[in-house]
Chains A and B, each alone.
Chain A
């Protein structure tokens, strides 16, 4: 079973920041938080991951609380093309042979509206 809890759906206005929450209260010390998204009829796409520090890349920012029990994915300026299902996943390891598998939940369906 997925070890994360996400709201089933969210709306966001185009051009505004989309903040997607995720609860992972049972996360272990060696588990990373990963975010993927899946646009309709496509395979999931990797967005970002982190352990305890906040992370930013060209797609998004990841904010992890100090106790690591929750996180927020931030899309700073949402566009219509960001409409997708967003999955928050906890996974053992980051690189190398000790990686755990990706276990997906139902995710959050983000709808970006004009």
Chain B
């Protein structure tokens, strides 16, 4: 079964440092999403891409977060500088025009110290 790949699986960084997460969606999935999940809460959408274009980034803290999907395939989410409150699970998901459900990756667990 096809999967959404994310790396790294775990990341520990010091506050004020830069950190980046990578996502490789299922082949052929034009829509890609980044979610953030704080412990004990449901995932929160940060950004949605359709191919290489941003469709929705209204919840992305743009002063420190950036996301790109240059060739419309894999994607990178960056935080600079990281803050203690950014500690969370960062989830990537992808979908196609013809599918009802998203497929999520296993996520990157970020700890900012």
A residues sitting closer than 8 Å to B (CB atoms) are 2, 32, 34, 36, 41-46, 49, 87, 94-97, 101-107
Contacts and interface: CB of A to CB of B under 8 A. Distances in A.
Interface residues of B, number: 24
Contact of B98 (A44, A95, A105): A95
A96 B106 contact: no
A46 B102 contact: yes
B45 A95 contact: no
Interface string B18-55: 00000000000000010000001111110010000000
Nearest to B31: A99
A101 B48 contact: yes
Contact of B42 (A34, A45, A107): A107
Given A94-B100, A101-B48, 9 more contacts: A41-B107, A42-B106, A44-B93, A46-B100, A46-B101, A46-B103, A97-B97, A102-B45, A106-B40
A106 B106 CA distance: 19
B97 A43 contact: no
B102 A102 contact: yes
B101 A34 contact: yes
Contacts, number: 54
A2 B42 contact: yes
B42 A106 contact: yes
A44 B43 contact: yes
Nearest first, the 7 A-B pairs at minimum CB distance are: A43-B104, A104-B42, A46-B101, A104-B43, A44-B104, A43-B91, A94-B100
B63 interface: no
Contact of B101 (A42, A49, A96, A97): A49
B101 A43 contact: no
Contacts of A44: 43, 91, 93, 102, 104
Contacts of A42: 106-107
